[in-house]
Structure 1
Amino acid sequence: MTRRALILLEGHMSNGLLYVKAAQRLGLHPITLSADPAQYNYIAAERLEAIRVDTDNLDALIHECSRLGATYDIAGLTGFAYPSESVYATVGKLCRHFDLPGPNSASIERCCDKFVQRQFLADAGIPMPAYRLAFDLTEVERTAAEIGLPVVVKPAVGSGSRGVRLCRTVDELAEHTTYLLGGKHIWRSSPRILVEEFAQGPYYEAEIIGNAVLGITAAEFDSPPHFVFRDSVFPAPLSDDEQKRIAHVSLNCLRALGLGWGPTHVEFRWTKRGPVVIEVNPRLPGGITPRMVRVACGVDLVTEHIKLVIGEECDLSRWHSHTAAARILIPDRDGVLDWINGDSLAGAIPGVADVKLYVEPKTPIVRKGDIRDRIGYVIAASPDLAQTKAILQRAVELIEWSITPFPALGQ
């Protein structure tokens, strides 16, 4: 019997191994196609099959998948929005070419361009912050003056909060624009900057599979001016009316953008106007969210996504009703990590669902103000929110580390 394979375009630091393990549990053989398979540590650690191929080259990917199809029964194909969001749009094109279930590539592409996404949402009357597109410092300063400080300045294309910053003064505006356009930020397309009104209020995220809103996550960020997640709770402690309003706007977003197949997560701020949309991401959220959803209600988002990918019906039935809370571990300084410990003690506490450290001693720590700053996480769960938070806090206090700052220049 021909072995059934799941093709994965590129990988993911936090979700990649989840997809591999879920695929194996479903009896599938995962094969990763990547421009650089070595960047994903779990591929070598798990002795997984991986093939080096230019994932920006559609013809090369079609050739490689056709070659694999002579050996395997390709049950499905999916991937990750890394190293660029365009990878997931390519997934849609490949699925269409091979007549496999998958996302609509045109819908994915209009989401990946944040300015284009905003235009589609605006045409549908979706509540959003004011926004403008800019190409140089003069335009950034002019549009920021029109919107009014503070503003959020970010690349029109990108993920993981790379290059995203809150600018509260004209000096901060100039500093960050110079950073973005001065060669330090890596652009995968022509440089275009989105300047947005800073929507002030609590942050929420709707977790969606198909057209079903599975639940809503509440999260808080670490210190400004960057947007690095620190604390999360699922499900968010919202009233029924608040949940319905977020779900209603979320589904309107799907219709406006032509989405509705597979996973989506919609980011919100709850402002004086109610929920306003910060961003629509046509994929599973990265980081810890899938793990939190699983321990809170028993739904494995990764497994259910793979079922859709291979043409099976997904099951979003809840097996229990807990509250999950998570803390992202973020260093408070740059330097060399001398030591880090306490993860085993934290993981042994009843109610702690998962503990993960991303770094080892002697690792250089250089904070970038985005998703790459994370050095680990802790997730706890229980039937009660207050109890869950207490368990989480107790576990976090057991994890300690020491960082020696880099020597000052000239020393």
Structure 2
Amino acid sequence: MTRRALILVEGNTHGTGLQYVQAAQSLGLHPITLSAEPTQYDYLAAEGIEAIRIDTTNRDALIRECSQLRATYDIAGITSAREAVYATVGKLCRHFDLPGPNPTSVERCCDKFTQRQLLAEAGVPIPAYRLALDATEVESSAAEIGLPVIVKPAVGNGSYGVRLCRDVDELAEHTMYLLGGKHIWRSSTRILVEEFAHGPFYCADIMGNEVIGIAAADFGPPPHFLFRETAFPAPLSNDDYKRITDVSLSCLRALGLGWGPTNIEFRWTKRGPVVIEVNPRLAGGGHRQLVQLAYGVDLITEHIKLVIGEEWDLRRRHSHTAAARILNADHDGTLDWIDGDSRAAAVPGVAEVKFYVEPKAPIIRKGDYRDRIGHVIAASPSLAQTEAILQRAVDLIDWSITPFTTHG
């Protein structure tokens, strides 16, 4: 009998890629990763996963490769854990007549300016925004909106190049960073300048047209937006939960989404829930584990079921509160040591303790998700109990970073 294969276009370094591979295997599928640089994903070699080196920006090359694989395998589905190639995945699915996302909707959603325009046309509450192509336009856009503003690339994810600019000096500095070659542009240089929406942060995890749940999160100190803690589900009243759900469904309609996973980020302002960003994919970090611990729903497994044309099951099995504390370095330097993971993992209620860095590694903070050095995840029947468990565990973890010596 021909083996059923799941094609994964690119992987993911922070956990999600390996989780897709493992979920595929648990469904009896043979995962094959197509990647421009397979060695960047440690888990492929460690788990003995089939990987093929190929230019994943070249749709024709991908079609040829998948066609050749069909001679050996029954290709059950094609998907990805990476937003950057998700529109390409949609195009491949259309070519091979497989279930997949609408590539046009994904492309429009991944362009944050186009996304803003479509949401604004549909009457979805969003921050004031302007598109800028150079430093002069960034300056005039910020003056029109009023400082502080968020300045970020119009295309990208993982908080790459996103910064809160509180005065003209910060604005000029970050504009120079984005335009001066320090930031790697995926497409042409286009900068989004946005009003800073004040208020608690929430994000909705959606599969198809169903809101699975809403998480609350907070950040470390500005000017960057590094997650410090995420709790699932968020402690919301029924009315507030319904308001976020209603706005979420309006976003799906406005952007032509509603197939597979979507993650929508909000700030709760004086106007109520204001949409910060719509991501046509699962949330990163430990979100999948939080949903699984809280409700017993494995979003990655259910996504793959949809991809291979099987019926998914999004029913909640139980109701707990799960939370993740992100460990972020507070200065640059060389990591001398990091320990306490086994002590923290032994705390009752702790589900996972993970370090992403090894001793002697250089720590160079970039102001985005790459600054994480680890996380702790815990779950219990209540938020207060989960918070207490997390705090006990985090207090047992310690590390030392020696600042780099500068030769003046």
Q: What TM-score range do you get, normalising by the shorter chain?
A: over 0.9
Cα distance in 1 for residues equivalent to 2:334 and 2:137: 39
- Gaps of at least 5 residues in structure 2 are none
Amino acid at match of 2:47: E
Cα distance in 1 for residues equivalent to 2:130 and 2:406: 40
Cα distance in 1 for residues equivalent to 2:19 and 2:206: 18
DSSP-derived class of the 1:205 partner: strand
Cα distance in 1 for residues equivalent to 2:353 and 2:5: 30
1:5 corresponds in structure 2 to 5
1:80-110 Cα shifts (integer Å, max 9, x gaps)? 32xxx44110000000000000000000000
Which of the numbers 315, 318, 321 marks the counterpart of 2:319?
321
1:278-322 Cα shifts (integer Å, max 9, x gaps)? 000011111111111001110000000000000011101111110
1:207-230 Cα shifts (integer Å, max 9, x gaps)? 000000000010001110001111
2:75 corresponds in structure 1 to 74
1:354-393 Cα shifts (integer Å, max 9, x gaps)? 1111111010000000010011100000001111100000
1:74-153 equivalence runs, <5 A: 74-81=75-82, 85-153=83-151
Which of the numbers 383, 387, 391 marks the counterpart of 2:381?
383
What's the C-alpha RMSD, in Å, of the aligned pairs?
0.6
Cα distance in 1 for residues equivalent to 2:70 and 2:395: 51
Which of the numbers 210, 213, 225 marks the counterpart of 2:211?
213
Structure 1 segments of 4+ aligned residues over 3 angstroms from their partners:
none
Q: Is the 8 A contact 1:351 1:381 kept in 2?
A: yes
2:22 corresponds in structure 1 to 21
TM-score, length-scaled by structure 1: 0.98
| Identity across matched positions, percent | 75
2:344 corresponds in structure 1 to 346
Are 1:171 and 2:172 counterparts? no
- Gaps of at least 5 residues in structure 1 are none
Q: Is the 8 A contact 1:86 1:109 kept in 2?
A: no
Cα distance in 2 for residues equivalent to 1:44 and 1:404: 32
Amino acid at match of 2:123: G
DSSP-derived class of the 1:108 partner: helix
1:250 corresponds in structure 2 to 248
1:339-363 Cα shifts (integer Å, max 9, x gaps)? 1111111111110011111111010
Amino acid at match of 2:90: G
Shift of 1:199: 0.1
2:270 corresponds in structure 1 to 272
Cα distance in 1 for residues equivalent to 2:285 and 2:382: 23
DSSP-derived class of the 2:395 partner: helix
Cα distance in 1 for residues equivalent to 2:22 and 2:81: 15
Cα distance in 2 for residues equivalent to 1:349 and 1:320: 22
Shift of 1:32: 0.3
Are 1:42 and 2:43 counterparts? yes
1:155-170 equivalence runs, <5 A: 155-170=153-168
Cα distance in 1 for residues equivalent to 2:138 and 2:225: 20
How many residues align structurally?
407
Amino acid at match of 1:15: T
DSSP-derived class of the 1:178 partner: helix
Cα distance in 2 for residues equivalent to 1:314 and 1:273: 36
